[in-house]
Amino acid sequence: MAIAKLSEQLINQIAAGEVIERPASVVKELLENALDAGATRVDVRLEQGGIRLIQISDNGGGIFRDEMPLALSRHATSKIACMDDLEALHTLGFRGEALPSIASVSRLSLTSMVEGERNGWRLTGDGSDIFREAAPAAHPVGTTVEVRDLFFNVPARRKFVRTERTEYNHCENVIRTQAACCPEVAFSLRHNDRVTLDLPAAGDPGERVRALLGDAFMEHATPVDEQRAGLTLSGWLGSPTQSRAQPDQQFFFVNGRAIRDRVLAAAVRKAYQDVLYHGRHPMFVLELELDPTQVDVNAHPTKQEVRFRESRMVHDFIFHALHKALAALRPGDAGHAAAVPGMGASAPRERGGAWPEQQDRPLSGLDGPSAGGYAPAREPRPASGSRDPGFGAAWAEFRGGASVAEARPAGYAATAYEAAAVTAASTAPEPPADADGMPPLGFALGQVAETFILAESAQGLIVVDMHAAHERITYERLKREWEGARVTSQPLLVPETLEVTPAEAELAEEHAGLLGEFGFELDRAGPETLTLRAAPALLRDQDVAQLVRDVLADLASVGYSHRAEGAMNAVLGTIACHGSVRSGRRLTLPEMNQLLRDMEATERSGQCNHGRPTWVELDHQALDRLFLRGR
């Protein structure tokens, strides 16, 4: 077949295939143009989910009449002029294909007016590369773009458009995402002549986030504000108890641009790994600011993916900032309690006088030699109270050092219950108390079904799942002890040969130090062969050969891996689960209070390491509503 130059219209339609995937793609490109033009208000109108009509009006700077044909020409833009501009981009848009690509697959009308002009001008097209002469038009300062009958002249693309409802949802998500990043801009959305979204300009970013994600999110959210090495991360982290089945309430911005990035996703996932229930996704609104020269926004045609020059540094910074914010949560912090369905949080009502029957009750431990632990007040039921006596010994063997059981007071039998009961209370700071001396989780009243602890706090009634709470306390202690003792490497009786790709073999040599930190000893035995001579003692019952392959795959993909650490934490979690107080164990009031104090001093104590909530709160107003008081 002879080589021939493509027509201008076909070139634009091919470019549209990279940029314009669906109506939401058009909305995104036009919104970015409006914001780059300095708009403080953007109004969006859709018909049939944007398939029939997309109209976006803004009050930005507008386009001069003689520049309107250029705006619809390929490789024409006002946002970059040289390579230096491209490498340090400060605008949302920069590609020259957006408007001409949209015009090549729709019936487009561009109307605009610049301040100081007597009237506006309108330029229209019919999907070809020929546009009519600009005509005078009445229009306020700003720009309106109408896109009708999207893909009318590209049937192959039109058949991939989904239902009206689906396409509308995608368009709305684009608008909500952009609105989350630009609280100073007012946004409105009309669909089929019905207002579906109205967001006035907000002076405080928190007001916009509240409008988008609701009051419950903000009441339970944790603010983030971290700066280091030229990086700034700010925003809000949703409570783990507000997780969702889909990652549909996650907003991440880099220098004001909404993006999807594996580096950022991995950092967030790792930060939440110990507090989210399996398969759930956190809610968050986060913005990362850094020098534009340190990030490439030209990595994808839709500008939704970026590349960082120092991706590992960015990943570590984000992870440590989020990990620090989540770990700092303690009972008593605003919104830390898991919400009871149907029971909203509220401020504590005023109460006077001393807390009855609590003045002589110890806050931190038991009287006598058992202080600091949960020594059983009475023998547990044989059916549900039996424990594996090998827990302490197994942990000592895993660590290659002293076991948790060594901290047990003298005179107690070597059971897993006591061995795992030495908690963070002895080293953690004293939890805050209110003006009357009431600690955040209050004082225990009793047990229900030998599973739940009931306590009275300044807010109301606290219900604690004692196994889940003790599991978190034990797990955090085991992690600290493991980190302190570092990884114990155990030589294999018979070295194992791993067949890998040449690239993976190179990675194993390059990252030998990193692999060694996790207890792996690997030698290269050939171009595509590795010899595994030692592995972490804690993972001796795992498929370590497959784990090594997975770690190498991560290193090849994103330059780092959390698999080894995740596998170790999974083993520690199992140990913590089996070594924690279980349902059926009857505790005395001092023992219950000791557990409450340890919860207040332990990181992430709102969830067990499986992501289940450890406690909930019914405040006084919720209790009043339950019994219709005041009605």
In terms of DSSP H, where are the helices of 20-160? 23-36, 68-71, 83-87, 98-104, 155-158
The 284-289 sheet, strands edge to edge = 222-228, 231-237, 284-289, 250-254, 257-258
Partner residues linked to 464 by β-bridges: 453, 615
Short-list 511, 489, 501, CA closest to 561: 511
Q: Which helix (H) or strand (E) holds 253?
A: strand 250-254
Q: What would the mean pLDDT of 420-425 be, rounded to a whole number?
A: 37
Answer yes or no: do 161 and 242 share one domain: no
| pLDDT band (50, 70, 90) for residue 15 | low
Answer yes or no: do 147 and 193 share one domain: yes
Can you give the residue range of the structural domain that contains 535?
489-575
| pLDDT band (50, 70, 90) for residue 62 | very high
> Does 57 reside within a domain?
yes
Answer yes or no: do 144 and 260 share one domain: no
| pLDDT band (50, 70, 90) for residue 378 | very low
Answer yes or no: do 189 and 54 share one domain: yes
**pLDDT greater than 60 at residue 468:** yes
Answer yes or no: do 225 and 166 share one domain: no
Answer yes or no: do 194 and 217 share one domain: no
CATH number for the domain spanning 248: value is 3.30.230.10
Q: How far is Cα 264 from Cα 315, in angstroms, rounded to an integer?
A: 6
Point out the domain boundary residue: 150, 182, 199: 199
> Does 418 reside within a domain?
no
The torsion angles phi and psi of 61, rounded to 5 degrees, stand at: -70, -20
Range in 373-382, 551-560, 593-602 with the lowest mean pLDDT: 373-382
> Does 372 reside within a domain?
no
CA 132, 137, 140 angle in degrees (round to 5)?
A: 135
SS3 100: helix
Helices 391-399 and 466-485 cross at an angle (nearest 10°) of 30
How is 500-540 classified by DSSP, letter by letter? --HHHHHHHHHTHHHHHHTT-EEEEEETTEEEEEEEEGGGT
The torsion angles phi and psi of 447, rounded to 5 degrees, stand at: -115, 150
> Does 469 reside within a domain?
no
Answer yes or no: do 231 and 119 share one domain: no
Answer yes or no: do 47 and 190 share one domain: yes
| pLDDT band (50, 70, 90) for residue 567 | low
SS3 368: helix
3-class SS letters over 561-612: CCHHHHHHHHHHHHHHHHCCCCCCCCCCHHHHHHHHHHHHCCCCCCECCCCC
**pLDDT greater than 90 at residue 190:** yes
Q: How far is Cα 388 from Cα 578, in angstroms, rounded to an integer?
A: 8
Answer yes or no: do 77 and 188 share one domain: yes
> Does 268 reside within a domain?
yes
SS3 307: strand
In terms of DSSP H, where are the helices of 272-386? 311-327, 382-385
| pLDDT band (50, 70, 90) for residue 308 | confident
Range in 210-214, 532-536, 566-570 with the lowest mean pLDDT: 566-570
Q: Which helix (H) or strand (E) holds 462?
A: strand 460-465
Point out the domain boundary residue: 535, 550, 575: 575
Answer yes or no: do 145 and 189 share one domain: yes
- Token digits for 567? 């596998």
pLDDT score recorded for residue 425:
36
> Does 210 reside within a domain?
yes
Point out the domain boundary residue: 148, 169, 199: 199
| pLDDT band (50, 70, 90) for residue 349 | very low
Q: How high is the mean pLDDT of the chain?
A: 77
The 529-536 sheet, strands edge to edge = 489-499, 529-536, 521-526
Q: What would the mean pLDDT of 502-517 be, rounded to a whole number?
A: 84
Q: What would the mean pLDDT of 23-41 be, rounded to a whole number?
A: 93
> Does 284 reside within a domain?
yes
Q: What would the mean pLDDT of 291-318 be, rounded to a whole number?
A: 80
Answer yes or no: do 20 and 150 share one domain: yes
Q: How far is Cα 440 from Cα 459, in angstroms, rounded to an integer?
A: 9
Q: Give the global pTM.
A: 0.68
* Segment 576-587, tens digit of pLDDT: 776 678 777 888
Q: How many domains does the chain have?
A: 3
pLDDT score recorded for residue 476:
83
Answer yes or no: do 40 and 54 share one domain: yes
pLDDT score recorded for residue 89:
66
Partner residues linked to 338 by β-bridges: 616
> Does 615 reside within a domain?
no
Is 343 buried (19+), middle (13-18) or exposed (0-12) by CB count in 10 A? middle
